[in-house]
Structure 1
Amino acid sequence: MTVLGPEEATARAAAHRQRLLTWVGPHLARRQRHEAHPVLDFLFTYYSESPARLLRWHAGVGHSVTGDLAEERLGWPMYAQGPDGSVGLDVEAFRERRGTSAGWVAGLLQATAGRTAQFGCFGLHEWAMVHRATPRHGAVPLRLGPAGTDAVVESHRLQCTHVDAYRFFTPTAAPRNALAPTRDTQAELEQPGCLHAGMDLYKWAVKLAPAVPGELLADCFELAVDIRVLDMRASPYDLVAHGYAPVPIETAAGKAEYAAAQRGFAERGQALRARLLAVCDAVLGPAGTPTPDRPTP
């Protein structure tokens, strides 16, 4: 156990809060004004972590804190005081409460990390979600109009591998997909080139809290923000009024721009995936070692 002194722990907690207030602050202001944001609200609605918990810094497994932060954390779930008086993650309590969930997450992360990334989807999942249907973001116009949007879907091969994107396909678009992802096949199909798999690293970091250090959670959140922006810039929606130039994936240039960004996100995602797996190893046992909560993938 690495013990963090009061000054270091307080500084890291303050830096974490300031870093995430970049997005949390404007979100709370918009919420107070009852103002929707078609791009960034997703990070606080689909991913349901509350702003208050997002701003909360954890030292993570293998670290404990002293001073005022230690006293505060004694009242938080899955924390315990050690013989030296410092306070850190109670690994046994974590395993009891989150072990099964963490084991599933570890299996998914390990399977995804070992798979070859694919870069040929071109973000068509967003187009498939409005094919021959009313757009989800009714206040935002379609860049090519309804007929033009449908034509893009119908002139491309859909190859979405992510269940939580595919499940929002319209009834007319779903049969056009090369695959039919389900929750049961998620670990078999999820691959590191998928934008939704990259965004979901934030979701897995939240599920592994408080074992995940705040800096890793913030890195995952920032990746989710960057991916979400590309996701919507490449979507059928016209977001110029919101400050987002389109990535026109219906063109060769747009496809190239999308795939290049996707490769960069995949590289960032793999690094974060490895760090999240290290957290899983610390609380559940080394990768590949069967435990009641972590079957061998």
Structure 2
Amino acid sequence: MLVLGPEGWRPLREAHEARAAGLSAAHRARREARQSHAVDDFLWTYYSLRPGRLARWHPGAGVALTGTDDVPPGYRETATGSGTAVVADPAAFADRCPGVLEWVSAVLGGVASRPARHDCFGLHEWAMVYRADERRHALPLRLGPAGTDAVVESLPVRCSHIDAFRFFTEAAVPLNASVPTRAAQPDLDHAGCVHVTMDLLKWALKLGPLVPGDLLLDCFELARDARTLDMRASPYDVSGYGHEPVAVETPTGRQAYAAAQRDLAGRAAPLRQRLLAVCRQAVAEVAGAADAAEVAGPVQTVDGALRRG
């Protein structure tokens, strides 16, 4: 276990808070002005993320802090050579969020174990407006409704991500090559999918204090870039936000989209491995603690004190 005193962890926390403030500045300004942004607001709304949460620094599992005023939620006290410190507690996380460590490990491990695909061309966003009377974003369609529908009907729709597929219009569902389900997610997610890349932010947020602050912010930045590609390749006209379209209705546009997918997948791979390592180490620690408790025997209450029998 690495032990950091105040002189070690305070600069890390301050640097994290400054970086997070920069990443959230535009969102905070829009919120103050009651303005919306169809591209950039997605990460904040879909993942129920607040700037304060992004700015909250954690050293990550296995790093103990001395010189703190209290024991933050999700931490426990631990003995060190010079006294006590606080460290993120995987057992407390597992108790509060049963099954999450195993589920995230299964999803991340599944993605890491199979080849990425680059043949969906972002058509999930097109399928979400196919023959629709209403749209999720108050933006014009680049090709108009009829042109958009024609693209969906002329190209194969190969969406494998449940959280994109579930927003398909009723008319678009039969056009998809498969029917993704939540239960099948560990077997279907792959590194080429922009939603799988964005989900690294979701997993980092779910794992809370077990994830180092720098990893959380790296996942946020990557998710932001994946979202930008997602909307540039969508049927919406996002030129008003300064984004050039990736015209996936053309062969050149599809080639550009696949190249951008490969770039995102390459950036995502080391972040995924770090998150997977966090999960697996936490699962092992929780299992080890359970084994130790079983050997020690049941907990008994004696004169108001908790003791092992």
How many residues of Structure 1 are paired with residues of Structure 2 in the alignment? 284
Aligned to 2:257: 258
Which of 72, 79, 86 aligns to 2:75? It is 79
Deviations 1:213-241 (A, max 9, x none): 11111111111001000000111111111
Aligned to 2:223: 224
Task: Report the Cα distance in structure 2 between the residues aligned to 1:161 and 1:92, rounded to whole angstroms.
Answer: 33
Matched, 1:13 2:13: yes
Task: Report the Cα distance in structure 2 between the residues aligned to 1:247 and 1:18, rounded to whole angstroms.
Answer: 33
Deviations 1:14-56 (A, max 9, x none): 1112222223121121112111100011010101122211110
SS of structure 1 residue aligned to 2:140: coil
SS of structure 2 residue aligned to 1:201: helix
Contact 2:94-2:100 at 8 Å conserved across structures: no
User: Which structure has the greater CA radius of gyration?
Assistant: 2
SS of structure 2 residue aligned to 1:71: coil
Contact 1:99-1:284 at 8 Å conserved across structures: no
Aligned to 1:214: 213
Task: Report the Cα distance in structure 2 between the residues aligned to 1:156 and 1:111, rounded to whole angstroms.
Answer: 28
Instruction: For 2:43, give the aligned amino acid.
Output: L
SS of structure 2 residue aligned to 1:86: strand
Of 185-194 and 229-238, more deviation after overlay is shown by 185-194
Aligned to 1:109: 108
- CA drift of 1:99 comes to 4.6
Aligned to 1:2: 2
Summarize the alignment of residues 49-68 of structure 1 with structure 2, pairs less than 5 Å apart.
49-67=49-67
Task: Report the Cα distance in structure 1 between the residues aligned to 2:182 and 2:121, rounded to whole angstroms.
Answer: 23
Task: Report the Cα distance in structure 1 between the residues aligned to 2:49 and 2:73, rounded to whole angstroms.
Answer: 16
Task: Report the Cα distance in structure 2 between the residues aligned to 1:128 and 1:92, rounded to whole angstroms.
Answer: 42
Aligned to 1:157: 156
Aligned to 2:48: 48
Of 159-168 and 241-250, more deviation after overlay is shown by 241-250
Contact 1:102-1:207 at 8 Å conserved across structures: no
Of all paired residues, the percent bearing the same amino acid is 52
SS of structure 2 residue aligned to 1:210: helix
TM-score, with normalisation over the residues of structure 2?
0.88
Aligned to 1:295: none
Aligned to 1:283: 282
